[in-house]
Amino acid sequence: MRSRRDRYHHGDLRNALVAAATELARAGGPEAVVLREAARRVGVSATAAYRHFDNRQDLLLAVKLAAQERLADAMAGAVAAGAALSDRGEEAERRLLAMARGYIGFALAEPGLYRSAFQHQDLPPKEPGRHPRARSYAMLAEVLDELLAAGRMPASRRPYAEIAAWSPLHGLCLMFLDGSLALPGDEQRDEVIERVLDVVAAGLRHT
């Protein structure tokens, strides 16, 4: 591994650049992703990056996707951290809440990555396989299907329920991050989170 790095041909430069750029995003958000700096950190000339990315925007897209992966990991991790419940409906609700908490926790713990994951892109997505949030979206869809199957959600609520359930979390996190919500103290913040989750859960349950 060490010997590979020392060689003229890096061997895994694309991934190394994405990792370095992602670290920049982690520290300072998407604006902080500087192609030259990423190359510098990998110990490679800036030009070398152009072997693997069309331009800075393209690198930023890779960072976006990496950040989305980490977000999905946080959600999956939160689900896995709790014990499964025997009742099907209760288990579905537990998982939904765990995902939500994992999501919010990630946003608050890694604001730079979170903002990068939802960073505005002018370009239309070219490759369908790269579609944003595919994994976390699928996780959410599955749990909503379970909720429906267990009779904890009316069928009329199912269409676009992913988006209805997701939007409040996303909006809340961004309001925390952009300073729109000036909340002093953690316990007040936690209380807000609880209120928002309550409303979402009730909204999905009732018609």
Whole-angstrom CA distances from 52 to 15, 19, 150, 177 are: 9, 13, 47, 32
**Residue 35 contacts DNA per CB under 7 A:** yes
The answer to whether 106 touches 75, Cβ cutoff 8 Å, is yes
44's contact among DNA, its own copies, none, with CB below 5 to 8 A by partner kind, is DNA
Binding mask 24-53 for its own copies (x = CB under 8 A): -----x------------------------
Shortest distance, position 47 Cβ to its own copies, whole Å: 26
Q: Which of 196, 90, 206 is nearest to 157 (CA)?
A: 206
Answer with the entry of its own copies, DNA, none that 87 interacts with (C-beta below 5 to 8 A by kind): none
- Distance, in Å, from the CA atom of 191 to the CA atom of 31, rounded to the nearest integer, reads 31
Closest CB to its own copies among 33 and 165?
165
Decide which of DNA, its own copies, none touches 29; Cβ closer than 5 to 8 Å per partner kind.
its own copies
Single-letter amino acid code for the residue at 122: D
The Cα–Cα gap between 70 and 56 comes to 21
Binding site for DNA (CB under 7 A): 7-11, 13, 33-37, 43-48, 50-52, 55-57
